Amino acid sequence: MSLTRRDLLIGSAALVGGASVSTPFFLPKYHFDQRPKRSRVAVLHADQYCQKLSQILWEGLRVFSINVRGKKVVLKPNLVDYLPGSAINTHPMLVVAAAEAFRRLEAKSVVVAEGPGHQRDTQLVLSRSGYQESLRGEKLRFIDLNRDELIRTPLRASYTGMKELWLPRTVLEADFLVSMPKIKTHHWSGVTLAMKNMFGIVPGARYGWPKNILHWKGIEESILDLCATVSVHFVIADGIIAMEGNGPLNGAPRLLERIVLADDPVAADATCARLMGFDPGRIAHIREGACFLGNAVPELIDQVGETVRPLATPFREVPEFVKLYAF
């Protein structure tokens, strides 16, 4: 059988067509590999929210060679809503302790910034959750990221297919951004930790309450695009009282008695997931983040402080995420 010129043309066209359709699926969706060679994580024991936190955190931070002298530090806690008796938000005492530590490290300025995802009345969340009083006592400025000035920002990854987002000036102009998540399970993404905490920088005034566009574009995909675009320089995760079950709002408080510090958000999230009893490799955004944002495997993480031991009873998850358990 001989190939005619027509066969060859049709074959070539089919090949080119097939390649152009399938190539995007095989190309990486990130534009830069931002992984450090090694990452450092410290797991600190803290059994309650009290004045001792400042000392615990200060000693933990000294393990890292953080240089924030003359820099603008932005602390980004997880402040979503307020329900009495719940463990939704990063505790304000931990935020204040972090601010004290960065001031001691001679930061030029330290501000607390967040855009609550569910509540439009940011001041109500601040006052009910104890933030207003704590921040006022320490003369710490709070910036409502839902209403901050916005800058059109090209995304540095293409998981969602969005080309750009409008993001707050305060975050984009920060020299040192600290993600301060509450360690929680999440009924749509399995867990919400340092990376997912970045949803709070997406402004409600532009994208609504909640930031529904991120749900429609894919939660994991949005986490990856955001973390690729806005660098998290440090993580201080609040796991003293964490949340399990139907998080991020209606779960049950879970005593974990840990604070996790890290110089890499992926390493922080992988470590927190292990502390919760999950396999980080089964959490989509941590697994994919480990390809370009940071390190998730223990071999690339220098672990200081307490060792990560499996819990006798792992965190409870909603049925869709029991697949995350590390056993």
Partner 1 sequence: MIPSDLSAELIRRQLPCGGWSALAASAQAALEPTCYSVLALGSQATDVRDRGYSFLVHAQNPNGSWPAFAGDDHDGSWVTSLVAIALRDIVPSIPARLKGLHWLLSSAGKEGNWLWKWKFRTADRHVRFDPDKFGWPWFPDTVSWVVPTAFAALALNQLPCSCGGFDLAQSRVDRGVQMLIDRACPGGGWNAGNGVVYGAAVAPHPDDTAIALLALCDRQQEPVVQASLNYLERTAPALTAPWSLAWAILAFAAHGRPTALLRGSLLTFPDLSYLEDTSTLALVCLALDHEHASTKLGVTI
Instruction: Work out which of 52, 250, 255, 322 binds partner 1, going by CB under 8 A.
Output: 250
Which of residues 34, 153, 246, 303 is near partner 1 by CB under 8 A? Answer: 246
For residue 166, state whether it binds partner 1 (rule: CB under 8 A): yes
Out of 187, 254, 274, 285, the residue judged to bind partner 1 by CB under 8 A? 187
What is the number of helices (H) and of strands (E) in the chain?
A: 11, 12
For position 153 contacting partner 1 by CB under 8 A, the verdict is no
Pairing of strands 182-186, 190-192: antiparallel
Q: Which of 162, 172, 213, 252 binds partner 1 (CB under 8 A)?
A: 213
**φ, ψ at 150 (rounded to 5°):** -115, 145
Which residues ranging from 288 to 327 are in contact with partner 1 (CB under 8 A)?
Answer: 318
Q: Is the peptide bond before 181 cis (omega within 30 degrees of 0)?
A: no
CA distance 196 to 215: 12
Give the range of 10-18, 93-101, 114-122, 193-201 binding partner 1 by CB under 8 A.
114-122
Nearest CA-CA partner of 116 in 164, 83, 155, 151 = 83
Q: Is 121 in the site for partner 1 (CB under 8 A)?
A: yes
Q: Does 156 bind partner 1 (CB under 8 A)?
A: no
Nearer residue to partner 1 within complex by CB, 64 or 207: 207
Residue 80 near residue 117 (C-beta atoms within 8 A): yes
- Give the per-residue contact string, 46-85, with partner 1 (x = CB under 8 A; - = no): -----------------------------------x-x--
Euclidean distance between CA atoms 282 and 246, whole angstroms: 19
* Closer by beta carbon to partner 1, 114 or else 288: 114
Provide, rounded to whole angstroms, the least separation between the CB of residue 157 and partner 1.
20
The answer to whether 194 and 287 are in contact (CB under 8 A) is: no
Cβ 119 to partner 1, closest distance in Å?
Answer: 6
Q: Which stretch binds partner 1 (CB under 8 A): 30-38, 40-48, 105-113, 144-152?
A: 144-152
Judge whether 54 and 103 are in contact, CB under 8 Å: no
**Minimum distance, C-beta of residue 81 to partner 1, in the bound complex (Å):** 8
Instruction: Evaluate whether 116 touches 146 at the Cβ level (below 8 Å).
Output: yes
Tell me which of 31, 128, 282, 287 binds partner 1, using CB under 8 A.
Answer: 128
CA gap 238, 256 in Å, rounded: 9
- Secondary structure class of 222 (helix, strand, coil): helix
Q: Which of 72, 103, 156, 206 binds partner 1 (CB under 8 A)?
A: 206
Instruction: Tell the smallest beta-carbon distance from residue 144 to partner 1 (Å).
Output: 7
Cα–Cα distance measured from residue 248 to residue 197, given in angstroms and rounded to the nearest whole number: 11
- Contact residues for 203 (Cβ-Cβ < 8 A; gap 6+): 115, 145, 146, 147, 148, 150, 166, 167, 168
- Residue 12: half-sphere exposure toward Cβ, Cα within 13 Å: 7
Stretch that binds partner 1, among 37-45, 58-66, 90-98, 203-211 (CB under 8 A): 203-211
Q: How far is the CB of 163 from partner 1 (least distance, A)?
A: 11
Binding interface with partner 1 (CB under 8 A)? 81, 83, 118-124, 126-128, 143-144, 147-150, 166, 187, 205-210, 212-213, 215-216, 246, 249-250, 318
